[in-house]
Each structure stands twice: as structure tokens, then as C-alpha cells.
Amino acid sequence: MRDLANSINAQFRGQLGRFRLDAAFTVPATGITGLFGPSGCGKSTVLRCIAGLQQLPGSRFSIAGDTWQDESLFRKAHQRPIGYVFQEASLFQHLSVKGNLLYGAPRHPAEQSNGQSIGFDEVLELLGLVPLLDRSPRHLSGGERQRVAIGRALLSQPKLLLMDEPLSALDRLTKDDILPFLERLHERLSLPVIYVSHDITEIERLADHLVLMRAGEVIASGPLTQVQSDPTLPLAASREAAVNFDAIVQRYDSNYGLVTLQLEGAELLVPAPPVAAGERRRVRIAAGDVSLARQLPQQSTILNALPTKIVSATPLNASEMVVVLALGDGTGGARLLARVTRRSWDHLQLATGQQVIAQVKGVALAPGRGDRSRDPSHSPTA
Ligand SMILES: Nc1ncnc2c1ncn2[C@@H]1O[C@H](COP(=O)(O)OP(=O)(O)OP(=O)(O)O)[C@@H](O)[C@H]1O
């Protein structure tokens, strides 16, 4: 049982027209929780319930030991300390950016939030808003408007930030511009965030925990990598199946332009711009980029040939299977996914519990703060 004082506990049940919501999850009250699922599965409805905008009898919600609703209590929307960021930023056109940011901000934030206030200057710096302060919202790009909306939500001193598809109205390049700002918020603020998206690449980039929904129900929740690597869930079986890790930079080899990253149970070599030792960077390894070998390849261009143990193997279709691997000797190492053909599986006489070598042909490394390119670079590691 998770410690209630440090968790978000949600249970929303009820009928909305023809739609039945029966969603319950418990996640830590820290970091970013991604709420992911197909269109119409109920993600926005869950956020509306958390915000107190939708009341369903018999529902419960608490965060860090503070109950917002249960059988006998229902705090109205304005009594819930939340920031809400929507797909389209609704800014006041008659106010400047500064006016918009300060709208709704408590006058004495430190008194209102037990000293845990988010400062005006800090928000400006985190979201790069200084050059925009005197501008009218009419003259902002979509990405700039969204940054202002996020800043305004933060300055209301919320205890929980709800983000409902905040990037989905933006084009690819603008999205890539905003993601590093969100990563910085995540790094610097301890504010818990529930982030709704139907774009798995955003979730992979930002989330620490994941709640998977389908048809009004929560089908899984847990740490991101754990949910990604569960072969019984739809993510591991999808074409885009991948796992993400937060790895620590060990060293940088400027001679070859390679960074060494430490994961639980393995080290990875990845081509990258110079990066300082000790930095934390998120990596993504796609199932389709991992192949298996019985032995360490003697002469190969593959940079990352990692000892692993086969945890499970699940057929995907007539020709392919998804294999879950534990890095290292299988005790406590991070999990990887590999998509292999059934023919190769039989040919190599592979079996659950066996030690095998995972050959990682490519790794996507999320950019660091100093990187010029903001798109996660997918580098062949062969
Ligand atoms: N007040 C309501 N009355 C009737 N039906 C509702 C109500 N609110 C939501 N629904 C229905 O609930 C379902 C879930 O909607 P919701 O917007 O939560 O899904 P979603 O997962 O956020 O979808 P998307 O990713 O497309 O935004 C939809 O079929 C919607 O029509």
C-alpha cells in the first residue's frame, strides 16, 4: 500500500450520458504523471473530475493526505488549489503578457502556500518570458501563448498542475521548442503534474509515472518504464513500443564524440554533443532497435551489446514476438524490449530465464539544456 501522505489517490465512477467512467489510480504526488489512452477513453473527463468541474457521486480524490472529495465532502472547483492548462491558451486580450501572468496570482504567495511559492522571476526565467512581458497576447505565436498560459497557471500557486493536451494544437517544430521548457519545470519545481496526451512521444519525454486508460477505465498505472515494458499491455505490443530511462552521464569521449550513460544494470555508449559528467539525460530505446544474440559478437560495429536475462516472450502476430529483457543478471536491472521474429527465436533456441546479449542498434537521447538541437536525436549505435 502506497504512503497516502505522498500520493495522489483518484477514484472516479459514474455515468455521463452513454459514457461510463470507472477510473481509479494511485501515483506518487511528485513528478509528472502521464494520462494516456485513445481518443474518447475519458482522459479529459478524469481531469475535469480532479478539478471539481465534474461531480460524480461515490468518487474520491486526495493528494498528499489532503482530501478534496469523498463520500461526505466535495470541494468546489474554486476551492481546489490547481493550475489548469488547456489545449488552447485562453489569455485576456486586453491585458499584456505581464497582466495575464499576474491575473489570479495571490498577493502574498508565500503566506498562501506554506512558503512553497513559485516566484514571478523564477517563472519568467523557467519559461523564457522576459522578452514577452509587455506584448499583447494578440501578437504572440501559439507556442508563446502556451508558455504564458503555463506561467499563469504556475503563479496561481497550485498544489497540482493539470495539463490537458497542452501541445496538441501546436505544430511539430513549436512542440519541440516548448518541450525543453516543460523539462526544465519538471527538473526545477517539485509541483506534481498530471499530463494528458494521446501522443506517446510527449509522454515518453516528460512522464515519470503513467496511467493507461481504455474505454473509461484505468488498465494500468505505475512507473513509466514498468508500464511500457509490460507485455500484457497495449504499449509493448505496438509498432512504437519502446522503453525510456533516466540515465546518468558517466563520461564523454571527445575523440569519438560518444557519451557513456549509466543505467540500472548496464552502460550505454551513444553519439552526442559534449555533455558534462553527472548530468541526467533521458534515453529511449525502441523495441525494433534491439536484437538478440546467444553470445557477445566477436567482431561487430554494434557499440552496445548488453548482457541481459529473458523475462518473458509474447507472440505479437504470426511472425513476431515481443521479448522483455532485464539488464545484467536479471536481478533488479532495468527492463528492455526487443521485437524479434518467431523464426529467430526458434532458430536460436531461446527461452525464458536464459542469459542473452541484447544488441542495441539505436538510442534516442533527449537533448540537454545546452544542446542546440531540441529534437531528441536518434543515433545509430552500430
Ligand atoms: N458531460 C458529459 N455528458 C455526456 N457525455 C460526456 C460528458 N463528458 C464527457 N462525455 C463523453 O465521455 C467520453 C470521454 O470524453 P473525454 O473528452 O474525457 O475523452 P478523452 O480521452 O479526453 O478524448 P480526447 O483524447 O479525444 O480528448 C466521450 O465519449 C464524451 O463524449
ipTM of this complex: 0.96
Whether the CB of 20 sits within 6 Å of ligand 1: no
Q: How far is the CA of 67 from the centre of ligand 1 (A)?
A: 25
231: in domain: no
SS in 3 state form for 226-253? Answer: HHHCCCCCHHHHCCCCEEEEEEEEEEEE
111: in domain: yes
Report the amino acid identity of residue 351.
A
Claim to verify: residue 355 and residue 297 sit in the same structural domain? yes
Per DSSP bridges, beta strands 258-263 and 304-315 are: unpaired
pLDDT value of residue 113: 42
Claim to verify: residue 73 and residue 172 sit in the same structural domain? yes
Claim to verify: residue 32 and residue 157 sit in the same structural domain? yes
229: in domain: no
Claim to verify: residue 96 and residue 182 sit in the same structural domain? yes
Whether the CB of 325 sits within 6 Å of ligand 1: no
Claim to verify: residue 281 and residue 370 sit in the same structural domain? yes
Whether the CB of 282 sits within 6 Å of ligand 1: no
Whether the CB of 214 sits within 6 Å of ligand 1: no
Closest Cα to residue 140, out of 86, 97, 88? 97
Pocket test for ligand 1, best of 44, 162, 195, 199 (most atoms within 8 A of CB): 44
237: in domain: no
Whether the CB of 42 sits within 6 Å of ligand 1: yes
208: in domain: yes
End position of a domain, from candidates 168, 191, 224:
224
pLDDT value of residue 114: 45
Residue 29 is classified by DSSP as S
- Transcribe 59-70 into DSSP letters: -EEEETTEEEES
**What's 342's domain CATH number?**
2.40.50.100
118: in domain: yes
Angle between helices 172-188 and 142-155 (to 10 degrees): 20
Q: Are 49 and 11 in contact (CB under 8 A)?
A: no
Nearest-angstrom CA–CA distance, 224 and 203: 9
Claim to verify: residue 45 and residue 184 sit in the same structural domain? yes
Q: How many domains does the chain have?
A: 2
Per-residue cell: 194: 498530471
pLDDT value of residue 109: 54
pLDDT value of residue 1: 47
Whether the CB of 45 sits within 6 Å of ligand 1: yes
Residue 43 three-state SS: helix
Q: How far is the CA of 160 from the centre of ligand 1 (A)?
A: 22
Q: How far is the CA of 181 from the centre of ligand 1 (A)?
A: 29
Claim to verify: residue 265 and residue 163 sit in the same structural domain? no
Nearest-angstrom CA–CA distance, 158 and 83: 5
Nearest-angstrom CA–CA distance, 85 and 105: 15
Backbone phi, psi, residue 12, to 5°: -125, 120
Q: How far is the CA of 280 from the centre of ligand 1 (A)?
A: 37
233: in domain: no
End position of a domain, from candidates 165, 195, 224:
224
Claim to verify: residue 205 and residue 297 sit in the same structural domain? no
Cell 544474440 belongs to: 293
Q: Which atom of ligand 1 is nearest to the CA of 17?
A: 4
Whether the CB of 211 sits within 6 Å of ligand 1: no
Pocket test for ligand 1, best of 12, 20, 21, 43 (most atoms within 8 A of CB): 43
Nearest-angstrom CA–CA distance, 103 and 149: 11
Per DSSP bridges, beta strands 193-197 and 304-315 are: unpaired
End position of a domain, from candidates 194, 224, 254:
224
Q: Residue 276: how many CB atoms within 10 A of its CB? A: 11
Whether the CB of 198 sits within 6 Å of ligand 1: yes
**CA-angle at 227, arms to 209 and 244, nearest 5°:** 70
Q: How far is the CA of 183 from the centre of ligand 1 (A)?
A: 28
Backbone phi, psi, residue 32, to 5°: -105, 125
Claim to verify: residue 98 and residue 183 sit in the same structural domain? yes
pLDDT value of residue 376: 61
Residue 308 domain boundaries = 242-380
End-to-end CA distance of the chain: 44
Q: How far is the CA of 18 from the centre of ligand 1 (A)?
A: 10
Closest Cα to residue 95, out of 155, 131, 138? 138
Claim to verify: residue 298 and residue 208 sit in the same structural domain? no
With pLDDT > 70 as the criterion, what percentage of the chain qualifies? Answer: 93
pLDDT mean for each 10 residues of the chain (382 residues) = 79 96 97 96 97 94 96 95 92 95 74 63 93 95 93 94 93 87 88 94 94 97 95 91 94 96 92 93 95 89 93 95 91 89 96 96 76 59 70
Claim to verify: residue 365 and residue 256 sit in the same structural domain? yes
Claim to verify: residue 257 and residue 152 sit in the same structural domain? no
Residue whose Cα lies nearest atom 6 of ligand 1: it is 16
Residue 71 is classified by DSSP as S
**What's 73's domain CATH number?**
3.40.50.300
At 49, which helix (H) or strand (E)? helix 43-51
